[in-house]
Structure 1
Amino acid sequence: MASTSSHPGRSPRSARTRSARTRMTAAAAAALGLALAGCSAIGTSSASDGDATSTSSGTVTLVAHDSFGLSDGILDDFTKETGLKVEVVQPGDAGTLVNQLVLTKDAPLGDLAYGIDNSFASRAIDEGVVVPYTSSAPAAKDAAQYAVGGSDALTAVDLGDVCINTDHTWFTEHGLAEPSTLDDLTKPEYKDLLVVPNAVTSSPGLAFLLATVGAFGEDGWQDYWTKLKANGLKVADGWTEAYDTDFSGGGGNGPRPIVLSYASSPPFTVPEGGTEPTTGALLDTCFRQVEYAGVLAGAKNPEGAQKLLDFLLSDEVQDDIPGTMYMYPVSSTATLPDDWATWAPLATKPFSVAPDEITTNREAWLADWSEIVIG
């Protein structure tokens, strides 16, 4: 996925990203091949065939998207508590992650998967790559509200809103009122002002496509994108290009003051010595992403995977998620950065599409989107 879906302060995944969800280039495939080889080495060194307990005191392998990261020392704390060393394998963004989990389900890449989001959750469950597990961690009660189709094969760990962001400074300098809704973006006064990541190569781009499906329905979203294109829409390969290069408020002094990003992006634009961000998120344009963890079917260390999943729901990890992965923890008691309540609130009514509907229609929607927008 590289840098196509990174987020302010995040590693390249958010870029949550989270890119190349449904298509892989030859280079990506080669890189994934190397990742697979590395996973095999981890597996064979951990236990002999048929020895289900020999890994329980050794290593647990976490297969995660490429922007997973926690503060230094947190995984060491897990090792101290359990005696298990965590090895992390990161084959790509959320879409690439699920593709690889499906392709390797007969010889899984590890023990626990993290980063399967609600765009791909139904597919992971239907393909049998994860097995049921009910965590006993306190935050599991909060996570339960995000269960996919009543299944306990995936457990929510964090969530966030993908939303349109605007550059306050640009609009002030140009004496133009900022847009506030999806429909506003098609108005003539905002011609040539919007840039979004490609829905095929970027997970935020896909999330925005899903937002329009949720907003305008199966029979209306295509017309909306036709209007966006006619109004000068620019499509970037990924989040990094859109935000850091094309967006006027992203540090690269780009020409476009409207960009697709995250509800949590604005706090990172507070200038040094300033008290408020120079950008804002339009909370009436958002699609909510939920990220899940699940014990992999055929895991060599399923007990270790369960312990690690419990740890992801611990107070220590849930408190760390906002500052390291720039997502909201699922725990209702987790500590959030002070400025998030003011500058990074979640949308009260985000657009949504049922996970099973996404699984059924995703490829067709992407094909239609490509024909309309890319041509």
Structure 2
Amino acid sequence: MQKGLLAAGLALAAGPLAAQDKPELVVYTYESFVAEWGPGPAIAANFEAICDCTLRFVGAGDGAALLSRLRLEGEHTEADIVLGLDTNLTAEAAATGLFAPHGRELPELDLPVAWDDPYFLPYDWSYFAFVYDRERMPEPPSSFEALIASDADIVILDPRSSTPGLGLVMWVEAAYGERAPAIWAGLADHIVTVAPGWSEGYGLFLNGEVDMALAYTTSPAYHAVADGDPAKAAAIFSEGHYMQVEVAGVTASSDQPELARAFLDFMLTDGFQGVIPTTNWMYPARLPEAGLPEGFADLPRPEKALLFSPEEAQALRDPAVGAWLEALSR
């Protein structure tokens, strides 16, 4: 959408309240998004510069916790937008009836998959991967089976509270199918801990307490750009890597539905997409005019991308998490 048209739409969305108190748009998202080093502050400033409104982010744990909170609050939620679910949760989220169709005409997206979801729009994506330190591990495992055969220890995230944790469960399920329980049984002895969320888990790796941590193929860009540390890398597995596509949607009970949809339009412009690579350290859903920043050009891309449809993910989630839990409980 052209900047002028977006600004005009935002002015209409603000309506007569613009002359009085500025309307407030409330966005539920995950904690790292709203951190001072995350994308939230810059995105809020960029949107408020054109919307004549106040944008308030509310951190609600990790991505999977967002849906749980919304279910608890139901139609009485103060959220106008939920930002931070992914395609493993969108079918389940839509089935709650708590989201409204976005009704947007999409610009061309830079995703490896086609997009036609009537409720949710993507804002970034990457591949799940295990990140390691080249200096500590010169020869990383090249598959889950190689990881099982190695002496490496790892940290993973709880799929019941963490979207990356659920992504790992889906990764194993997509790669191995009926053999997934056996893979989890083999991985169990390598798992030092199951962290509840991203910060806790990745922090163990950064502190040198584990050899590898569940993260993304784009995570090493952070270390190269922000830390000046080229030693961190993502291990590329021969069976392929599961994708994560993160999305946002408007709540059905929003008292600012037009402003919320104007935010979705803004979300796919440079004012949002240009912030994502060096704050959320993911690929933007729509490539900014300036392209990708330094540190992203040499990132490895898996030869095989794995992704269940939202409906497949919804059907597989409970049995896959059950198999994970049983294997780790032995």
SS of alignment partner, residue 60 of structure 2: strand
User: Which residue does the alignment assign to 2:195?
Assistant: 237
Distance 2:186 2:64 in 1: 28
SS of alignment partner, residue 199 of structure 1: coil
- Equivalent of 2:174 in 214, 223, 233: 214
User: Which residue does the alignment assign to 1:65?
Assistant: 30
User: Which residue does the alignment assign to 2:311?
Assistant: 356
* Equivalence map 1:314-353=2 (5 Å): 314-334=269-289, 335-342=291-298, 344-353=299-308
* Runs of at least 5 residues in structure 1 that lack an aligned partner in the other structure: 1-51
Q: CA deviation at 1:271?
A: 9.4
**Is the contact made by 2:152 and 2:211 (CA closer than 8 Å) also made in structure 1?**
no
Distance 2:119 2:264 in 1: 12
- Equivalent of 2:45 in 42, 60, 76: 76
Distance 1:302 1:331 in 2: 23
Q: Give the letter aligned to residue 222 of structure 1.
A: P
Aligned: 1:259 with 2:219 = no
Q: CA deviation at 1:133?
A: 1.9
Q: CA deviation at 1:159?
A: 0.9
Percent identical residues: 25
Aligned: 1:304 with 2:304 = no
**Is the contact made by 1:137 and 1:314 (CA closer than 8 Å) also made in structure 2?**
no
Cα shift readout 1:104-147 (whole Å, capped 9, x = no counterpart): 332232212211111211111111221112334645x4479553
**Is the contact made by 1:62 and 1:111 (CA closer than 8 Å) also made in structure 2?**
yes
Aligned: 1:106 with 2:91 = no
* Runs of at least 5 residues in structure 2 that lack an aligned partner in the other structure: 1-13
SS of alignment partner, residue 233 of structure 2: strand
Q: 1:142 to 1:264 in 2, by over 3 A?
A: closer
Q: 1:240 to 1:77 in 2, by over 3 A?
A: closer
Q: CA deviation at 1:244?
A: 2.4
Q: 1:103 to 1:171 in 2, by over 3 A?
A: closer
Distance 1:102 1:352 in 2: 25
User: Which residue does the alignment assign to 2:230?
Assistant: 277
Q: 1:315 to 1:269 in 2, by over 3 A?
A: closer
Q: Give the letter aligned to residue 31 of structure 2.
A: D
Distance 2:292 2:269 in 1: 15
User: Which residue does the alignment assign to 2:7?
Assistant: none
Distance 1:333 1:347 in 2: 23
Distance 1:146 1:106 in 2: 31
Q: CA deviation at 1:233?
A: 3.3
Distance 1:181 1:127 in 2: 37
TM-score when scaled to structure 2? 0.82
Aligned: 1:162 with 2:128 = yes
TM-score when scaled to structure 1? 0.73
Deviation larger for 325-334 or 116-125: 325-334
Aligned pairs, how many?
A: 306
